[in-house]
């Protein structure tokens, strides 16, 4: 309901094409759909597709199925994150045509491809245990329209593995760096490139990792200027941030 | 020392224009300058100007003056953050031509303007107490080449103040949102726009604010997809992130 | 055992209608009932019914059944919170007539309805994953005598969904706002209405949500004046607070 | 800008009494006033007076004076919290007629008394060191229209001191309980009365008090049903909550 | 190996009854027994019986059985804490004569009773969910020689339940107070009696209970002078402290 | 107001020696004195003298002086803790006869000595920086009637310094062990003796000491059975606990 | 890729034995091997064998098997840590010749023994529950070339058990001390010897142990000079540190 | 008091050269000196000089002077850490011949040089603000006998600055790496060398640095095998650890 729509609405009212009550109704009829237990934000889906990404954890199976089915009906497109294998199997019975990516715990259906944005989104991960989060980021970014490349297992304790890939780092339009443990990789990458770098701490580690807090703090305190951070294990969030960035200049 | 420089160096060596020892020296002579207590990274300054921003806190006065003077000599440009009034007065005696912004605690000298990047960087702040951090972000972004606009005192407890400025939000290429207390403003802004939104928690608050931790956690857990976050009170970091983003598409 | 009862007791003693030992006994015979492993506070139940709400978690099955049965015998009314499905099934075998609400994890029996208090208690929830806690609050408030309405899935990242329901917010006598993640919804609601607003953080989230701590901190640091907060996931506590408020003016 | 105002605005537009551009302007001319560095929310002041309470800490002296003066001009009423003696002296020079309460760190001017709400707000404090916060609560509640009584130094380690005042507890319409250290007093009070009880943890204590966190946690985990909590040392917040409650039934 | 034993050892050496090497051996032959994976401290068992209490969690089943059997052989007495039902069943197969207390998760065998210490150890618990820890304390104290009484379900939200038992509180020689949630009960008890009060926080609670941390902090910050605290859920520790106290004056 | 007093009161009422109103007054006239801002608990002072110990920090100078003067008038005895030198000088002007112990930050006046309790209270401290807390404990314990001995600078990194004093440890009736840093000393002492051991963590340390939290946690997790703990830097609390213990058997 | 290798590479280039493109390739062809999902760092394995130690937790079974098999093929040597029994059984099916140590959760194959380093590595553990971590340290150190001795169950609450083994402590070239609970053992050991002492906190404990944090903090705040610490439960890390130390002087 | 001394003592006793009482006295006369408020551990000083390093903070000026003077008298050698300029000036008046290093806050006197240990101790620091801690480490290590080199301002955001110094890293016998902020430098260094690496987190940073906790956690969670860590800002501790390591092989 942006300024133009509001101006048009008011103009219709001023021209007598719309009554006061109808105008009030229109003002209330904002672009979401009420399922009773959820209000689907088609407005957001129209704008950048984020609304078509559903957080799968913590939803009742039948409600999740209803939400997913509604998006499939509306646009033929939906992506569900944080879906463990059992929930995925249940969901697949209710909604046909979903593809399940086990490592990333993502189910996806995209009847029509999204238009590709300019520039590459490079997803860099520090260790093999970080791959689930990195894959969540990569699959989400692809679903949302990015061209995605991957660079894996380049943690800082073997810094030469990263430096050997300097060219790919330099070519990326935006870089997502996924790391657990001490979370140092984004700082090193941030110092090597001038593109936006989105750091994703993971819960990989034990003891004083405190479920990814150590990595998060390292990223927030990075000496690399302009590093930005999302929540622990939030691969989708990093993908959405990358899309916001890639949309500019497209 | 990028791939091209390395190729050229190796080519000179291969052509006999350079001896092995000299090549080794060159490989070690990377583009930083050693002041004994600091290694100025002119490479970074050349690339995006971040190197010309100096963190003023915790440096000995004479060493700070030496660093600042060196940048002034090299490029006529420097910006010093986290500089309290006493330190600013001391620095002004050693390095002429600095302008001091008291609220933002920033001293700056820019003999030549930076080329302006396309698109507007909008700096939004929640309360008057957040203004020092917002100003740090705004002044740094301007120094680094952004066109900056400001929107102040639009905290979520009076949501109409923010909604009244919807048009300015929609027009921005990148938005920095600065908030302390409960840190909810970036979530609301992130839901209103599709541009990149950089959230900056501030240490404004008391008690369970825990020095800005409450605001930080709120931003990291935002339900607005694709919000990114920097360290508490890190106005410069947000500016640098905005510059990384604005450079794309320019 | 309030002042009037004490005065009467003393008067009986002064009039010789009661001996010293009997008076001492009466002073000790305070209105609770000792089951050996629990002391049922019928006094509290008489006053406002809170005593008839039993916290179901962490009690041995037989002891829980004994407590519930005792309340059913005494008043025909009891509500058990935090009861997982297995425990509910076990309890149902021991005490007939219980209705189990799976999402809210509540078992309830109310042979006589509670007298309705004036004014509406509106229970607002941010996301679908917050519904279990919201339902706990709503069912408890209804059991304790409130007229309850529900408003679901109106999180702040799509602020228009909330604003569209402004009229219902304005009409409520007391509002319970349930939110996890960044916990921003109560701040926005608190700024829109003048009624009491009780904020309930939920453990919905992951990573730096720290089990609901992020939402809790946001609510405690709200810039909306006069917001009050209860423990994480404490739907019953919010309902009890609403009852305390609604009783005034009734 | 409530529904009635919006309906009226639209009606004027429909009747041709207002042009589209003017209507748009009116929609943007929401009831706040822009001082450049602050947006005074007169709307909130009109509604319940909360807007006339200014948080004094962390504002530049000249800006604080401008805000305070603006409220004095508009309504002859303002209350400033968290004002240390030096800031109070500076403010008194700029704005005449302020009364400063040193213990509560509050400056106040009320040219016209606020209409008194029905019922008593009882402010209970555990120890003498809790008095500054208790006084902040009491003075704010009085400024906002409550009849306030005080009950001091009744901490739980001498429980008879509290029980001796049972009658005053029972008579109150709403009770604010202020306690540091172990923060147990609100639980005991909450078990004695059926009125709403607002718990305020204070930063009184040392070591594992962690600046009031121990008291806060005790209050959030209270076994007294329906206890509600505000931020550490937030006397104003408790007063505002009490006002929200007292307004009901008035 | 106390001073007297050392003096005697040296005297034997001086009298030539013992050679230097033998003396060295004796000095090394301190009163513990090496099982390879554990060194049983019979010295401690001789002194106050603490050594006969075995922490059952985290030990391999066969090693636990070996330790327990060794104590049974040596003294016919052993008590195992933190033993879940499965482990208890396994242990019972290996060591006959053990009695298992399910609520307290304790297995015990005491072929000869311990001599009773003077004075009563009163174990007070706040809620029914605190009973497992209270029972651990009570059973351990009895095993170690105390006369134990129990007082249950006297939490502070119904303070009259506690005050009604004032006489039993006043008669105890040492009081162990077990409470979860807000942990306020020990403060109230500590203010009512002059005997030593040992506070045991329990992990009963949820959300901001943080596994008993809220209760622990409340107890450490108690305004009741001279309250002492043990680790969360550490019923055995409280019992051992009570024994140390009761031994004095016996 | 114990059971006997209550029985006597009721008996007087039954015998007509006391009217109902007078009895009610007596029931309310509990043994504390109301100074307006503080309620002195003479009852507690009568019982064990704890009430005569005043926490000096955070009280207004005139109120502190009034409280101290009232105790001097009543009993000629008072001890003030946490009194910095400036506050001590101010207090000395208002109340004559106080002796100030600078290291312990204690002011004391004891016109009549307290009767000495049987048994020695040994105060052991780990490092020289722990001496202020150790002295607070020692002076408070002496004021409250204990015979106190001191053992200083016997930290665990030079364990022979402690073992050399084994005899003094063995002779003590109760031991207070004061330690900062890693807080290991109480565990070692607790393993050497069978007397009650009260552990006092201090805020001595830096970095991950977190203001004494490291020492506190070590003490709470001690493998020495029956160790009890008080708040960080709480020398008075340890002394009060020791008095509670020494009173038994006296 | 050390200085000598670089010099040789450049010399070849200078002599024309290598073209520019080939040199660039060589510079990128750093000594790791890309399995797609992991980059094995044979360089590190060549240097000190650390690369042959694989962290078993959090890796997909087939990928773990591929990594392990690759090391077996390359050198006949591999050690896998954090391998639970089920994963070990699965791995054993894929890679023959592994020996599984259940307590330490380690699988190992060493077709050729590692050359033994001079000096003994003594692994000291405080309690029987610390043995799994101690064994991880001991087995890793042996695999990496150390001569290892073990000293078990010598916690500080029975300090004589440790002192009786003084000679073994004094003879060790490097000491690893493993302790949970209060983590005091390394401080005592560090005060007894002049050799390097590596402290390993374990997650043994409950309540305020906070998963080993209490022990970690104690070790970081040790008053024993020169104690060094690794992550909670990080037996491998301690072993690797010991190897770094033993390599010196060999 | 090692085994040899004990054997000799016992032999003297056996030969009648020493009486039992004298032997007991000797056993108690362990090698420390009692100043009343401190027990100087000359034993430790004799062994490795650690005892001659005095922690200057938190000691009373006269007691600090007495301790320092005693060491000067005994050996002509002492080093005082954590000494702010005012305390240093006061100390200089009491003890002549001290040299004060302002940045490191160290006062030192060494009438005789310590014998130099083999191998270089390289002290690497990430930023200029880390220099005080790095200097504390370097000066302490030199005082204790190490040959020290320094490498400054080589933080990971400009990784080429570090790689350019690869040769110096490779040559060191032990490396101390000092870093605040995200604390990533030790991980990178640890991956480049096989020598022991001691990581020192500093409190340099703000916001989520939490006083150095972020850096500490990063170091504890390092993916570089065998990294060891000391307390935040503990330059002396790192030096002492380096000395323990360098002594081996010397």
> Closest chain F residue to C6 measured between Cα atoms?
F24
Q: Assess whether pLDDT exceeds 60 at residue B47.
A: no
Q: How far is H20 from chain F (nearest CA, A)?
A: 16
> Closest chain G residue to B5 measured between Cα atoms?
G24
Chain D residues closer than 8 Å to B158 by CB = 32, 39, 41, 43-44
Q: Note whether H177 and H185 are within 8 A (CB).
A: yes
Q: How confident is the model at residue H1 (pLDDT cuts 50, 70, 90)?
A: very low
Distance CA G224, CA G231 (A): 19
3-state secondary structure chain C: CCHHHHHHHHHHHHCCCCCHHHHHHHHHCCCCEECCCCEECHHHHHHHCHHHEEECCCCCHHHHHHHHHHHHHHHCEEEEECCCHHHHHHHHHHCCCCEEECCCCEEEEECCCCCCCCCEEEEEECCHHHHHHHHHHHHHHHHCCCEEEEECCCCHHHHHHHHCCHHHHHHCCEEEEEECCCCCHHHHHHHHCCCCEEEEECCCCCHHHHHHHHHHHHHHCCCCCCCEECCCCCHHHHHHHHHHHHHCCC
Q: Assess whether pLDDT exceeds 80 at residue G78.
A: yes
Q: Assess whether pLDDT exceeds 80 at residue B44.
A: no
Mean pLDDT on F40-58:
70
Tens of pLDDT, residue by residue over E91-111, are: 999 999 999 999 999 999 999
Rg (CA), chain F: 21
Distance separating the N- and C-terminal Cα atoms of chain D: 24
Q: What pLDDT is attached to residue G50?
A: 83
Helix (H, G, I), strand (E, B) or coil at E217: helix
Chain G residues closer than 8 Å to F127 by CB = 223
Q: How confident is the model at residue G25 (pLDDT cuts 50, 70, 90)?
A: low
Chain A residues closer than 8 Å to B236 by CB = 225
For CA atoms D26, D27, D31, D34, give the dihedral sign: negative
Which of C26-30, C228-232, E22-26, H49-53 is predicted least confidently? C26-30
Q: Which residues contact A243 (CB under 8 A, 6 or more apart)?
A: A48, A49, A50, A117, A141, A144, A145, A146, B226
Q: What pLDDT is attached to residue G30?
A: 41
Mean pLDDT on H58-87:
91
Q: What is the secondary structure of B49-91 as a DSSP string? A: SGGGEEE-TTS-HHHHHHHHHHHHHHHSEEEEES--HHHHHHH
Q: Assess whether pLDDT exceeds 90 at residue F187.
A: yes
Residue F77: phi and psi, rounded to 5, are: -135, 130
Distance CA H51, CA C171 (A): 74
Q: Assess whether pLDDT exceeds 50 at residue A10.
A: yes
Distance CA C182, CA C199 (A): 13
Contact check, Cβ <8 Å, B47/A243:
no
Q: Assess whether pLDDT exceeds 90 at residue D172.
A: yes
Q: Assess whether pLDDT exceeds 70 at residue G5.
A: no
Q: Assess whether pLDDT exceeds 60 at residue G133.
A: yes
Q: What pLDDT is attached to residue A44?
A: 52
For CA atoms E17, E21, E23, E29, give the dihedral sign: negative
Higher pLDDT, B38 or B131: B131
Q: What pLDDT is attached to residue C40?
A: 59
Contact check, Cβ <8 Å, E44/G158:
yes
Q: What pLDDT is attached to residue F248?
A: 74
Interface residues of chain F, partner chain D, Cβ below 8 Å: 1, 28, 30, 32, 34, 36-39, 41, 43-44, 55, 57-60, 63, 82, 201, 203, 211-213, 216, 231-234
Q: What pLDDT is attached to residue D1?
A: 41
Tens of pLDDT, residue by residue over E45-74, are: 545 678 789 999 988 899 999 999 988 988
Q: What pLDDT is attached to residue H178?
A: 98
Q: What pLDDT is attached to residue B114?
A: 79
Distance CA G177, CA G183 (A): 9
Between D10, D13, D19, which is nearest A24 by CB? D10
Q: Note whether C238 and A246 are within 8 A (CB).
A: no
Q: What pLDDT is attached to residue G171?
A: 92
Q: What pLDDT is attached to residue H28?
A: 46
Contact check, Cβ <8 Å, C223/B183:
no
Instruction: Give start and end residues of each alpha helix (H) in H96-196.
Output: 131-143, 159-163, 166-171, 185-192
> Closest chain D residue to C48 measured between Cα atoms?
D194
Interface residues of chain B, partner chain G, Cβ below 8 Å: 3, 6-7, 10-11, 13-14, 16, 19-20, 23-24, 27
Query: What is the DSSP-derived secondary structure letter of residue G146?
Result: -
Mean pLDDT on C114-118:
86
3-state secondary structure E114-147: CCCCCCEEEEEECCHHHHHHHHHHHHHHHHCCCE
**In terms of Cα–Cα distance, which of F135, F144, F138 is closest to F52?**
F144
* E131 exposure class (CB count in 10 Å sphere: 0-12, 13-18, 19+): buried
Between F167, F196, F240, which is nearest E245 by CB? F196
Distance CA H124, CA H131 (A): 9
Q: Note whether B139 and B106 are within 8 A (CB).
A: yes
Distance CA F197, CA F229 (A): 9
Q: What pLDDT is attached to residue A28?
A: 45
Distance of CA G162 to the CA centre of its chain: 25
Q: What pLDDT is attached to residue G164?
A: 77
E&H contacts, CB < 8 Å: 33
> Closest chain C residue to E154 measured between Cα atoms?
C39
Residues facing C147 on adjacent strands = C120
Q: What pLDDT is attached to residue F213?
A: 97
Q: Assess whether pLDDT exceeds 90 at residue E33.
A: no
Secondary structure element (H or E) that encloses residue G62, with its range: helix G61-75
> Closest chain G residue to E44 measured between Cα atoms?
G158
Secondary structure element (H or E) that encloses residue F189, with its range: helix F185-192
Chain B residues closer than 8 Å to H211 by CB = none
Chain E residues closer than 8 Å to C33 by CB = none
Tens of pLDDT, residue by residue over D83-99, are: 999 999 999 999 999 99
Distance CA H142, CA H131 (A): 16
Q: How confident is the model at residue F103 (pLDDT cuts 50, 70, 90)?
A: very high
Q: What pLDDT is attached to residue H31?
A: 46
> Closest chain G residue to F226 measured between Cα atoms?
G157
For chain E, which chains pass the contact test of at least 3 CB pairs under 8 Å?
Answer: C, D, F, G, H
Tens of pLDDT, residue by residue over C9-62, are: 667 777 778 776 666 556 544 445 566 666 655 545 545 678 789 999 988 899
Q: Which of C14, C15, C23 best probes binding to F when mutated, by most F CB atoms within 10 angstroms? A: C14
Chain H residues closer than 8 Å to E26 by CB = none
ipTM here = 0.86
Mean pLDDT on G126-152:
95
Q: Assess whether pLDDT exceeds 80 at residue A199.
A: yes
Tokens, residue D218: 């005790």
Q: What pLDDT is attached to residue G249?
A: 52
Mean pLDDT on H140-148:
96
Q: Assess whether pLDDT exceeds 70 at residue G99.
A: yes
Which of B238-242, F205-209, G158-162 is predicted least confidently? G158-162
Q: Edge-to-edge strands of the sheet including D53-55?
A: D53-55, D77-81, D106-110, D99-101
Q: What is the secondary structure of D150-168 as a DSSP string? A: EE----GGGHHHHHTTHHH
Q: Assess whether pLDDT exceeds 90 at residue B36.
A: no
> Closest chain B residue to G11 measured between Cα atoms?
B20
Q: How far is D247 from chain F (nearest CA, A)?
A: 30
**In terms of Cα–Cα distance, which of E156, E199, E197, E140 is closest to E173?**
E197
Between F126, F181, F221, which is nearest G214 by CB? F221
Q: Assess whether pLDDT exceeds 70 at residue F48.
A: no
E and A make contact (3+ CB pairs below 8 Å): no
Residue with tokens 């190490």: H146
Q: What pLDDT is attached to residue G4?
A: 58
Rg (CA), chain E: 21
Q: How confident is the model at residue H149 (pLDDT cuts 50, 70, 90)?
A: very high
Q: Note whether A172 and A121 are within 8 A (CB).
A: yes
Residues, chain D, total? Answer: 250
Mean pLDDT on F206-223:
96
Q: What pLDDT is attached to residue E74?
A: 80
Q: Assess whether pLDDT exceeds 90 at residue E227.
A: yes
Residues facing F121 on adjacent strands = F148, F174
Please report how many Cα atoms fall inside a 13 Å half-sphere around the Cα of residue A111, on the Cβ side: 10
Q: Assess whether pLDDT exceeds 50 at residue H19.
A: yes
Residues of chain D by 3-state class (helix, strand, coil), percent to 5: 50, 20, 35
Residue with tokens 């705004």: B138
> Closest chain A residue to B231 measured between Cα atoms?
A220
Which of D45-49, D118-122, G8-12, H109-113 is predicted least confidently? D45-49
Distance CA A84, CA F50 (A): 59
Higher pLDDT, D61 or A24: D61
Q: Which of C58, C59, C210, C213 best probes binding to E when mutated, by most E CB atoms within 10 angstroms? A: C58
Tens of pLDDT, residue by residue over B168-182, are: 998 999 999 999 999
Distance separating the N- and C-terminal Cα atoms of chain B: 24
């Amino acid at each position: 309901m942006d300024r133009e729509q509001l101006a048009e609405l008011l103009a219709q009212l001023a021209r007598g094409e719309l009554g006061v009550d109808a105008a009030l109704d229109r003002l209330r009829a904002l672009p979401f759909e009420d399922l009773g237990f959820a209000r689907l934000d088609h407005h957001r889906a129209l704008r950048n597709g984020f609304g078509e990404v559903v957080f799968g954890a913590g939803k009742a199976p039948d409600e999740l199925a209803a939400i997913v089915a509604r998006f499939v009906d509306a646009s033929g497109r939906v992506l569900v994150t944080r879906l463990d294998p059992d929930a995925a199997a249940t969901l697949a019975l209710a909604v046909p045509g979903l593809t399940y990516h086990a490592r990333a715990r993502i189910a996806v259906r995209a009847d029509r491809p999204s238009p590709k944005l300019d520039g590459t989104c490079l997803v860099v991960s520090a260790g093999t245990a970080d791959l689930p989060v990195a894959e969540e980021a990569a699959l989400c970014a692809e679903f949302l329209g990015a061209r995605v490349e991957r660079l894996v297992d380049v943690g800082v304790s073997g810094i030469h593995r990263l430096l050997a890939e300097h060219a790919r780092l330099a070519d990326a339009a935006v870089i997502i760096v996924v790391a657990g443990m001490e979370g140092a990789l984004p700082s090193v990458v941030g110092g090597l490139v001038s593109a936006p770098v989105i750091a994703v701490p993971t819960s990989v580690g034990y003891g004083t990792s405190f479920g990814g807090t150590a990595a998060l703090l390292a990223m927030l305190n990075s000496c690399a200027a302009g590093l930005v951070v999302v929540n622990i294990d939030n691969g989708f969030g990093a993908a959405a941030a990358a899309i916001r960035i890639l949309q500019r200049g497209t």
